Amino acid sequence: MSHPLAIAAIGFWHVHAGDYARAAQRHPGTRLVALWDDDDQRGTDAAAEFGVEFVRDLDELLARPDLDGVTITTATTEHTDVIARAIRAGKHVFTEKILAPTVEESERLVALAREAGVALVVSLPRLYDPYTAAIERILDEGTLGELAYSRVRLAHDGWVKGWLPERFGDPAEAVGGALTDLGCHPAYLTRLFHRAEPRSVSACYGNVSGHPVEDNAVVTAEFPGGRLGVFEASVVSTPGAFTAELRGTEASLLFGFGGERLLAKGGTFGDDWTELPLPEPGPGAFDLWVTCIADGTTADDNLAHAVALTRTVVAANDSAASGRVVSLGAAELLAG
Protein backbone atom coordinates (compact mmCIF):
# COMPACT_ATOMS: atom_id res chain seq x y z
CA MET A 1 0.00 0.00 0.00
CA SER A 2 1.23 3.47 -0.88
CA HIS A 3 2.06 6.18 1.65
CA PRO A 4 0.28 8.44 1.10
CA LEU A 5 -2.49 6.39 -0.49
CA ALA A 6 -2.82 6.65 -4.26
CA ILE A 7 -6.40 7.62 -5.11
CA ALA A 8 -8.27 7.89 -8.43
CA ALA A 9 -11.48 9.84 -8.94
CA ILE A 10 -14.04 7.70 -10.77
CA GLY A 11 -16.82 9.64 -12.50
CA PHE A 12 -17.58 13.35 -12.54
CA TRP A 13 -21.33 13.00 -13.00
CA HIS A 14 -22.18 14.25 -9.51
CA VAL A 15 -21.66 17.85 -8.43
CA HIS A 16 -19.59 16.69 -5.43
CA ALA A 17 -17.03 14.84 -7.57
CA GLY A 18 -14.66 17.80 -7.46
CA ASP A 19 -15.03 18.07 -3.68
CA TYR A 20 -13.81 14.51 -3.21
CA ALA A 21 -10.99 14.96 -5.71
CA ARG A 22 -9.87 18.02 -3.73
CA ALA A 23 -10.18 16.02 -0.50
CA ALA A 24 -7.82 13.42 -1.96
CA GLN A 25 -5.34 16.17 -2.85
CA ARG A 26 -5.53 17.92 0.51
CA HIS A 27 -5.69 15.04 2.97
CA PRO A 28 -2.21 14.22 4.35
CA GLY A 29 -2.89 10.51 3.95
CA THR A 30 -3.90 10.55 0.28
CA ARG A 31 -2.85 11.85 -3.12
CA LEU A 32 -4.88 12.09 -6.32
CA VAL A 33 -3.11 10.30 -9.18
CA ALA A 34 -5.68 9.84 -11.96
CA LEU A 35 -9.33 10.03 -12.92
CA TRP A 36 -11.89 8.40 -15.19
CA ASP A 37 -15.25 9.42 -16.58
CA ASP A 38 -17.52 7.83 -19.19
CA ASP A 39 -17.77 11.22 -20.88
CA ASP A 40 -14.46 12.10 -22.55
CA GLN A 41 -15.03 15.84 -22.47
CA ARG A 42 -16.02 15.84 -18.83
CA GLY A 43 -13.05 13.64 -18.03
CA THR A 44 -10.47 15.70 -19.89
CA ASP A 45 -11.84 18.92 -18.38
CA ALA A 46 -11.57 17.45 -14.87
CA ALA A 47 -8.06 16.12 -15.54
CA ALA A 48 -6.95 19.59 -16.63
CA GLU A 49 -8.53 21.16 -13.54
CA PHE A 50 -6.85 18.79 -11.10
CA GLY A 51 -3.59 18.30 -13.00
CA VAL A 52 -3.76 14.50 -13.15
CA GLU A 53 -3.95 11.83 -15.83
CA PHE A 54 -7.28 11.07 -17.53
CA VAL A 55 -7.62 7.33 -18.13
CA ARG A 56 -10.26 6.36 -20.70
CA ASP A 57 -10.39 2.64 -19.79
CA LEU A 58 -11.86 2.04 -16.33
CA ASP A 59 -10.71 -1.57 -16.09
CA GLU A 60 -7.18 -0.54 -17.00
CA LEU A 61 -7.21 2.06 -14.22
CA LEU A 62 -8.64 -0.35 -11.63
CA ALA A 63 -6.03 -2.99 -12.57
CA ARG A 64 -3.11 -0.74 -11.62
CA PRO A 65 -1.26 -2.37 -8.70
CA ASP A 66 -0.08 0.99 -7.37
CA LEU A 67 -3.65 2.33 -7.02
CA ASP A 68 -5.02 1.97 -3.49
CA GLY A 69 -8.50 3.47 -3.59
CA VAL A 70 -11.12 5.34 -5.58
CA THR A 71 -13.78 7.96 -5.02
CA ILE A 72 -16.90 7.10 -7.03
CA THR A 73 -19.32 9.80 -8.18
CA THR A 74 -20.83 8.32 -11.32
CA ALA A 75 -24.53 8.49 -12.14
CA THR A 76 -26.49 6.78 -9.36
CA THR A 77 -27.66 4.07 -11.74
CA GLU A 78 -24.02 3.16 -12.43
CA HIS A 79 -23.04 2.77 -8.76
CA THR A 80 -23.71 -0.94 -8.44
CA ASP A 81 -21.60 -1.90 -11.45
CA VAL A 82 -18.73 0.54 -10.92
CA ILE A 83 -18.43 0.05 -7.15
CA ALA A 84 -18.50 -3.73 -7.54
CA ARG A 85 -15.77 -3.58 -10.19
CA ALA A 86 -13.61 -1.45 -7.91
CA ILE A 87 -14.11 -3.78 -4.96
CA ARG A 88 -13.31 -6.87 -7.05
CA ALA A 89 -10.12 -5.11 -8.14
CA GLY A 90 -9.19 -4.77 -4.46
CA LYS A 91 -9.59 -0.98 -4.36
CA HIS A 92 -10.96 0.83 -1.31
CA VAL A 93 -14.09 2.83 -2.15
CA PHE A 94 -15.43 6.19 -1.02
CA THR A 95 -18.72 6.96 -2.75
CA GLU A 96 -21.56 9.44 -2.98
CA LYS A 97 -25.03 8.62 -1.65
CA ILE A 98 -27.21 6.78 -2.34
CA LEU A 99 -25.06 3.66 -2.26
CA ALA A 100 -27.17 1.89 -4.91
CA PRO A 101 -30.63 2.17 -6.48
CA THR A 102 -32.08 -0.74 -4.46
CA VAL A 103 -31.69 -2.17 -0.98
CA GLU A 104 -30.65 -5.55 -2.36
CA GLU A 105 -27.86 -3.99 -4.43
CA SER A 106 -26.69 -1.93 -1.44
CA GLU A 107 -26.53 -4.98 0.79
CA ARG A 108 -24.63 -6.92 -1.87
CA LEU A 109 -22.04 -4.16 -2.18
CA VAL A 110 -21.53 -4.05 1.60
CA ALA A 111 -21.15 -7.84 1.72
CA LEU A 112 -18.78 -7.81 -1.25
CA ALA A 113 -16.58 -5.20 0.43
CA ARG A 114 -16.44 -7.21 3.66
CA GLU A 115 -15.49 -10.39 1.81
CA ALA A 116 -12.77 -8.56 -0.11
CA GLY A 117 -11.39 -6.79 2.95
CA VAL A 118 -12.00 -3.46 1.25
CA ALA A 119 -12.88 -0.26 3.11
CA LEU A 120 -16.22 1.03 1.81
CA VAL A 121 -17.51 4.38 3.11
CA VAL A 122 -20.47 6.44 1.90
CA SER A 123 -20.36 10.22 2.06
CA LEU A 124 -23.01 11.07 4.67
CA PRO A 125 -21.34 14.30 5.81
CA ARG A 126 -23.98 15.66 8.16
CA LEU A 127 -23.55 12.67 10.46
CA TYR A 128 -20.21 14.20 11.44
CA ASP A 129 -21.13 17.90 11.71
CA PRO A 130 -20.82 19.77 15.05
CA TYR A 131 -24.56 20.44 15.43
CA THR A 132 -25.24 16.72 14.94
CA ALA A 133 -22.76 15.85 17.70
CA ALA A 134 -24.38 18.42 20.00
CA ILE A 135 -27.89 17.12 19.33
CA GLU A 136 -26.78 13.52 19.87
CA ARG A 137 -25.26 14.46 23.22
CA ILE A 138 -28.52 16.09 24.34
CA LEU A 139 -30.51 13.05 23.21
CA ASP A 140 -28.13 10.78 25.14
CA GLU A 141 -28.55 12.90 28.26
CA GLY A 142 -32.33 12.61 28.05
CA THR A 143 -32.96 16.31 28.65
CA LEU A 144 -35.49 16.47 25.79
CA GLY A 145 -37.58 13.75 27.38
CA GLU A 146 -39.13 11.45 24.79
CA LEU A 147 -38.53 12.71 21.25
CA ALA A 148 -42.07 12.94 19.88
CA TYR A 149 -41.54 14.90 16.67
CA SER A 150 -38.71 16.01 14.41
CA ARG A 151 -38.47 18.00 11.22
CA VAL A 152 -35.31 18.31 9.13
CA ARG A 153 -35.24 20.34 5.92
CA LEU A 154 -32.50 20.93 3.36
CA ALA A 155 -32.95 23.14 0.31
CA HIS A 156 -31.02 25.03 -2.35
CA ASP A 157 -31.73 27.05 -5.49
CA GLY A 158 -30.06 24.74 -8.04
CA TRP A 159 -32.91 24.72 -10.52
CA VAL A 160 -33.84 28.34 -9.86
CA LYS A 161 -30.37 29.75 -10.52
CA GLY A 162 -29.41 27.12 -13.07
CA TRP A 163 -26.29 25.67 -11.46
CA LEU A 164 -27.68 22.16 -10.81
CA PRO A 165 -26.97 20.09 -13.95
CA GLU A 166 -29.95 18.99 -16.02
CA ARG A 167 -28.79 15.38 -15.70
CA PHE A 168 -30.02 15.47 -12.08
CA GLY A 169 -33.51 15.56 -13.60
CA ASP A 170 -33.02 12.46 -15.75
CA PRO A 171 -34.72 9.46 -14.08
CA ALA A 172 -32.58 7.08 -16.12
CA GLU A 173 -29.42 8.40 -14.44
CA ALA A 174 -30.47 9.96 -11.15
CA VAL A 175 -33.09 7.38 -10.03
CA GLY A 176 -35.11 10.18 -8.43
CA GLY A 177 -35.18 13.92 -7.84
CA ALA A 178 -34.80 16.24 -4.87
CA LEU A 179 -35.54 13.56 -2.28
CA THR A 180 -33.21 10.92 -3.73
CA ASP A 181 -30.24 13.29 -3.79
CA LEU A 182 -30.56 16.28 -1.48
CA GLY A 183 -33.19 14.70 0.74
CA CYS A 184 -30.79 11.92 1.73
CA HIS A 185 -29.25 14.19 4.35
CA PRO A 186 -32.50 14.97 6.22
CA ALA A 187 -33.47 11.29 5.87
CA TYR A 188 -30.41 9.82 7.57
CA LEU A 189 -30.41 12.55 10.24
CA THR A 190 -34.04 11.74 11.03
CA ARG A 191 -33.16 8.07 11.53
CA LEU A 192 -30.21 9.07 13.71
CA PHE A 193 -32.25 11.41 15.91
CA HIS A 194 -35.05 8.90 16.48
CA ARG A 195 -32.60 6.06 17.11
CA ALA A 196 -34.87 3.69 15.23
CA GLU A 197 -35.88 2.44 11.83
CA PRO A 198 -39.14 3.96 10.58
CA ARG A 199 -42.16 1.66 10.51
CA SER A 200 -43.67 3.41 7.50
CA VAL A 201 -43.27 6.46 5.28
CA SER A 202 -45.71 8.69 3.44
CA ALA A 203 -44.32 10.99 0.76
CA CYS A 204 -45.68 13.90 -1.24
CA TYR A 205 -43.63 15.25 -4.15
CA GLY A 206 -44.09 18.51 -6.02
CA ASN A 207 -42.76 19.95 -9.25
CA VAL A 208 -42.68 23.64 -10.11
CA SER A 209 -39.71 23.57 -12.53
CA GLY A 210 -41.08 21.17 -15.14
CA HIS A 211 -38.37 18.50 -14.77
CA PRO A 212 -39.30 14.80 -15.09
CA VAL A 213 -38.53 14.32 -11.37
CA GLU A 214 -39.64 16.12 -8.23
CA ASP A 215 -38.02 19.37 -7.15
CA ASN A 216 -39.89 19.58 -3.82
CA ALA A 217 -40.41 16.67 -1.44
CA VAL A 218 -41.96 16.15 1.99
CA VAL A 219 -41.83 12.77 3.73
CA THR A 220 -43.45 11.78 7.03
CA ALA A 221 -41.96 8.76 8.78
CA GLU A 222 -43.67 6.89 11.62
CA PHE A 223 -41.35 5.54 14.31
CA PRO A 224 -42.03 3.14 17.21
CA GLY A 225 -44.20 4.57 19.95
CA GLY A 226 -46.15 6.87 17.65
CA ARG A 227 -43.22 9.25 17.13
CA LEU A 228 -43.09 11.20 13.88
CA GLY A 229 -40.20 12.43 11.79
CA VAL A 230 -40.66 14.78 8.85
CA PHE A 231 -37.84 15.27 6.34
CA GLU A 232 -37.93 17.61 3.38
CA ALA A 233 -35.87 18.64 0.36
CA SER A 234 -36.12 21.28 -2.33
CA VAL A 235 -33.93 22.38 -5.22
CA VAL A 236 -36.08 25.41 -6.04
CA SER A 237 -35.77 27.28 -2.74
CA THR A 238 -33.64 29.78 -0.86
CA PRO A 239 -29.99 28.65 -0.88
CA GLY A 240 -28.38 27.38 2.28
CA ALA A 241 -31.68 26.52 3.90
CA PHE A 242 -30.91 23.80 6.44
CA THR A 243 -33.09 23.55 9.51
CA ALA A 244 -33.66 20.97 12.22
CA GLU A 245 -36.45 20.97 14.79
CA LEU A 246 -36.73 18.41 17.59
CA ARG A 247 -39.69 18.43 19.97
CA GLY A 248 -39.51 16.30 23.08
CA THR A 249 -41.92 15.74 25.93
CA GLU A 250 -39.77 17.97 28.18
CA ALA A 251 -37.83 20.33 25.89
CA SER A 252 -37.22 21.40 22.29
CA LEU A 253 -34.24 22.08 20.02
CA LEU A 254 -33.95 24.29 16.95
CA PHE A 255 -31.03 24.65 14.57
CA GLY A 256 -30.63 26.86 11.52
CA PHE A 257 -33.65 29.10 11.92
CA GLY A 258 -32.14 32.49 11.15
CA GLY A 259 -28.53 31.45 11.73
CA GLU A 260 -26.15 28.59 12.42
CA ARG A 261 -27.22 28.39 16.04
CA LEU A 262 -28.51 25.56 18.21
CA LEU A 263 -31.30 26.79 20.49
CA ALA A 264 -32.99 24.97 23.38
CA LYS A 265 -36.09 25.67 25.41
CA GLY A 266 -38.04 23.90 28.16
CA GLY A 267 -37.17 21.60 31.02
CA THR A 268 -33.64 22.08 32.31
CA PHE A 269 -33.02 24.66 29.57
CA GLY A 270 -35.55 27.12 31.02
CA ASP A 271 -38.54 28.99 29.63
CA ASP A 272 -36.64 31.12 27.11
CA TRP A 273 -34.72 30.07 24.02
CA THR A 274 -31.07 29.56 25.00
CA GLU A 275 -28.16 29.21 22.58
CA LEU A 276 -26.06 26.12 23.22
CA PRO A 277 -22.36 25.76 22.38
CA LEU A 278 -21.29 23.58 19.49
CA PRO A 279 -18.21 21.35 19.63
CA GLU A 280 -15.24 21.90 17.36
CA PRO A 281 -15.53 20.11 13.99
CA GLY A 282 -14.22 16.57 14.10
CA PRO A 283 -13.15 14.08 11.43
CA GLY A 284 -15.53 13.75 8.49
CA ALA A 285 -16.55 10.89 6.23
CA PHE A 286 -13.42 11.10 4.05
CA ASP A 287 -11.24 11.03 7.20
CA LEU A 288 -13.18 7.97 8.37
CA TRP A 289 -12.44 6.23 5.07
CA VAL A 290 -8.70 6.91 5.26
CA THR A 291 -8.64 5.70 8.88
CA CYS A 292 -10.47 2.48 7.98
CA ILE A 293 -7.95 1.80 5.21
CA ALA A 294 -5.02 2.42 7.54
CA ASP A 295 -6.45 0.36 10.41
CA GLY A 296 -8.02 -2.41 8.36
CA THR A 297 -11.40 -1.71 9.98
CA THR A 298 -14.98 -1.49 8.71
CA ALA A 299 -17.19 1.60 8.94
CA ASP A 300 -20.10 -0.37 10.38
CA ASP A 301 -22.23 2.59 11.53
CA ASN A 302 -21.71 4.44 8.26
CA LEU A 303 -22.71 1.41 6.20
CA ALA A 304 -25.74 0.69 8.39
CA HIS A 305 -26.90 4.25 7.80
CA ALA A 306 -26.20 3.90 4.06
CA VAL A 307 -28.26 0.74 3.61
CA ALA A 308 -31.09 2.10 5.77
CA LEU A 309 -31.00 5.32 3.75
CA THR A 310 -31.48 3.39 0.52
CA ARG A 311 -34.43 1.56 2.10
CA THR A 312 -36.04 4.83 3.17
CA VAL A 313 -35.50 6.58 -0.18
CA VAL A 314 -36.91 3.63 -2.14
CA ALA A 315 -39.96 3.53 0.14
CA ALA A 316 -40.49 7.29 -0.15
CA ASN A 317 -40.30 7.14 -3.94
CA ASP A 318 -42.79 4.26 -3.94
CA SER A 319 -45.12 6.20 -1.65
CA ALA A 320 -45.03 9.33 -3.80
CA ALA A 321 -45.65 7.32 -6.97
CA SER A 322 -48.51 5.27 -5.54
CA GLY A 323 -50.12 7.84 -3.25
CA ARG A 324 -50.15 5.41 -0.34
CA VAL A 325 -48.33 4.82 2.92
CA VAL A 326 -45.48 2.34 2.46
CA SER A 327 -44.68 -0.01 5.31
CA LEU A 328 -41.05 -0.77 6.11
CA GLY A 329 -41.86 -3.69 8.38
CA ALA A 330 -40.84 -4.16 11.97
CA ALA A 331 -38.68 -1.36 13.36
CA GLU A 332 -35.95 -1.83 15.92
CA LEU A 333 -34.46 0.74 18.23
CA LEU A 334 -30.89 1.69 17.43
CA ALA A 335 -28.16 1.92 20.00
CA GLY A 336 -27.78 5.44 21.38
Domain covering 126-284+313-327, topology: Dihydrodipicolinate Reductase; domain 2 (3.30.360)
Residues of the chain with CATH 3.40.50.720: 5-118
pLDDT at residue number 330: 45
| Region of 212 on the Ramachandran plot (φ > 0 left; ψ -120 to 50 alpha; else beta) | alpha
Tabulate helix, strand, coil % of the chain (nearest 5): 40, 25, 35
Mean pLDDT, consecutive 10-residue stretches, the chain (336 aa), reads 93 97 98 97 97 97 98 97 98 97 97 98 97 98 97 96 94 92 97 96 97 97 96 89 97 94 97 97 97 97 97 96 88 40
Instruction: Give every strand in the sheet of 326-327, ordered side by side.
Output: 274-276, 262-265, 252-255, 241-248, 147-155, 227-234, 216-223, 200-206, 326-327
Type of residue at 179: L
Indicate the SS3 state at residue 332: coil
Nearest to 290 by CA among 58, 2, 79: 2
Q: Across the strands, what pairs with 245?
A: 151, 254
pLDDT at residue number 236: 96
CA distances to 63, 104, 236 from 216, rounded to whole Å, are: 42, 27, 7
Taking the mean position of all CA atoms in its chain, how far away is CA 50? 24
Domain covering 5-118, topology: Rossmann fold (3.40.50)
Residues of the chain with CATH 3.30.360.10: 126-284+313-327
Nearest to 201 by CA among 315, 98, 332: 315
Q: Output the pTM of the full model.
A: 0.95
CA dihedral 154, 155, 156, 160 (to 10 degrees): 160
Half-sphere exposure of 227 (CA within 13 A, CB side): 25
CA–CA dist 256, 188 (Å, integer)? 18
pLDDT at residue number 266: 98
CA–CA dist 301, 104 (Å, integer)? 18
Judge contact between 52 and 67, C-beta under 8 A: no
